Structure 1
């Protein structure tokens, strides 16, 4: 199964405070372990919400709001995409992660939908379309 591992933002990450050399070293070593174990598919840190935007969809209308966004605890500062055997395995890996923030922090783990999760709504034509899209993104190195 694939899981998205979300590193929640903190006051320091939203303030644009950069991690120390020690934290970067620890996170690099953790990421190496994930890769060597065949778990890590992707992972990146995100810049503060002050450099981002949100797009609100309301019917056919689109409203863009520039950051920063007020609720730090609801923001994401980084992510990983992992392939694991179970949620338990993903949680075990998270427990081994260095604290990703200067202060206390939180990491959320969420399973990714697979095509079979959609049941009959995922027709053969839609499966083929998804396969083509994944092949193209794989070729791009995404």
Structure 2
């Protein structure tokens, strides 16, 4: 029995080594040059990337998932909603807040149900833009100063 155990142990130890030799690079072995890796990376600066994303988002109405209202945190969402008015200038009714999914700027967004008269729409926010102060209203609304 001991004579059978020794060859089986040796086989069990050698199987991972054989599997690694079959076309797989060794641990730490370079699979491509640093130059090739850099070519695959995004070469835009963060400002250039944001400018490109803003330009793409502007093809959609403000307050949609493709062009969310950019604000700084939940406080920014509330401050913006406090300024939104119905088209006739009357105050809006703010409903529930929920997650809206991945927005046009690549981050998770939130949406609020907003009512004017008998119509309810949703306004989508991206709260990861501390540096941005939105001055435009979503379509069909106005902004108080």
Tell me which interval the TM-score lies in, with the shorter structure as reference length: under 0.3
The higher radius of gyration belongs to 2
What is the TM-score when the length of structure 1 is the normalising length? 0.25
Give the structure, 1 or 2, with the largest relative contact order (CA under 8 Å, sep 6 or more): 1
